[in-house]
Structure 1
Amino acid sequence: MTSDVRVRPAVATDVGWLAEVSRASFASRLHPFLISAQPGIDRFWEVVLSHPAAFPGRSFLVAETDEDGRIGFVDLQVVDPGTAHLSYVCVTEPARGRGVAGTLLRDYLHRNPDVVSMQLDVFDDNASARALYDRLGFESVATTTWWVADLPRARRAAAGTRVQGLHAATAWLDTYGFAELAVAVDDAIMPLARPSRSVLRCPDPALLLQPAVLAAVVDELPELSEVLVTLEGDEPPPSDIGPLRQVNRSIRMTASDVRTRWEPM
């Protein structure tokens, strides 16, 4: 690593670069399923950076040099006392292999003295990232498979089904490219998300057994074409809407006592 790398908090004028680097780090086939790959993520991150009090515990840090300018960033969020979740660590291709990621993480620890452990999710096929996390002492604790199916159309929608939060979700989607909403069936309310215009994410895979409910959502949101569910392990959930396709696998990794592990590096 070159000794002239500096780390600083990200500012609002960084958001276009942050979005570009983040989007480029993911395979294009995964973009519909990732909020960080949406065209409005820079506008959302501008809100995060401009109003930090509204997002307590979240930190964006940027690494840069005089010669190369910005060369990497991290996005972390304190999720439990003493534990931070590493959402993203991205380093530009010319700067890889220079220890930039480790520098960013050690700087984060200096700025957040209460953090002693970290967790993250890494894609199973991202060999370089997994090698980095292995070197940093992260250990795998669980594997999650991402399953996708085509959404049902030309079906009778379930009676008594209502999409909630539609107005706000539409505004979020138009502004940021992703949104959260819910579907109410009688007295039950089930949260949903749109990581992109074409994808509906169902936190509860039981919705795959209710095609009439999903058809009611599609009636309100006809741009949707696919439904995404994520589930630990390798077995697909039961489905009454058609065959499921595996599009991704992610690995949850954790590292404890990171201050002792990383200080000598």
Structure 2
Amino acid sequence: MTDPGLVQRLRAAGCVFAEDEAALLSAEASGAELELLVRRRAAGEPLETVLGWVEVDGLRLVVGRGCFVPRQRTVLLARLAIEARPHLLVEVCCGVAPIAALVARALPGAELHAADLDPVPLTSARLNLAGRGSVHEGDLTAPLPTSLRGRVDVLVANAPYVPTAEIAHMPPEARLHEPTVALDGGVDGLDLHRRLAREAPAWLRPGGVLLIETSRRQAPATAAACAAAGLVPAIVRDDGIDATAVRAVSDFDRLTPDPGPPHFRSITP
């Protein structure tokens, strides 16, 4: 039975699901170690980094202290990536590499690469990929082996897309405990989306796919950035997990004589 005093401490610290969190923390540690975890959580650190893991689509992922915690909505990117059945997938702005890890589970034969500018989450990324992919440190596609150019089936990113001015209004768990570099997308939130759209065509094979997580409000602008780079975009929405993504195809004219205007696709849970 969970200690009622522990539940009360977490509730007093503002934890809405204090009972559930107390049970998880108690299952993770006891004695002095549990007390340390409780103090970290009561101080506002995300539960996931306190525990050291997060479950995404049934897969437990390592999430170290100071890492961006994968959100459940990012499952949409993973499902779209798996749907494309890639032989070669690259996840940039990977953080702890949740998408590459989910693809590794579904498609064990795929060649996987993950890259991030921040070295801190790459320690967790290596553990999550467990030798099933290569991890690179650097900005967007810059650290990738040049041998991948023109060969990538899926290039996927949960790149930062929070407008700089809106970071101050984010929950303290994110604003104070997650790296700003994983949140800040520039004035309109789309700096990284535009850069990635420009870089993607050099890496994608003909018919390859760029997948970018975005918001419902920002999706048209993300799609426009992809179109400006010569890709053919579609907006994909999954209301079940409150997720929005842009799926943009490279050299679409080789697949169909008339791709038409960008369209909207909704996934019903």
User: Comparing both chains, which one has the higher relative contact order based on Cα–Cα distances under 8 Å and sequence gaps of 6 or more?
Assistant: 1
What's the TM-score once normalised by structure 2's chain length?
0.29
- Structure with bigger helix share is 2
The structure with the largest strand share of the pair is 1
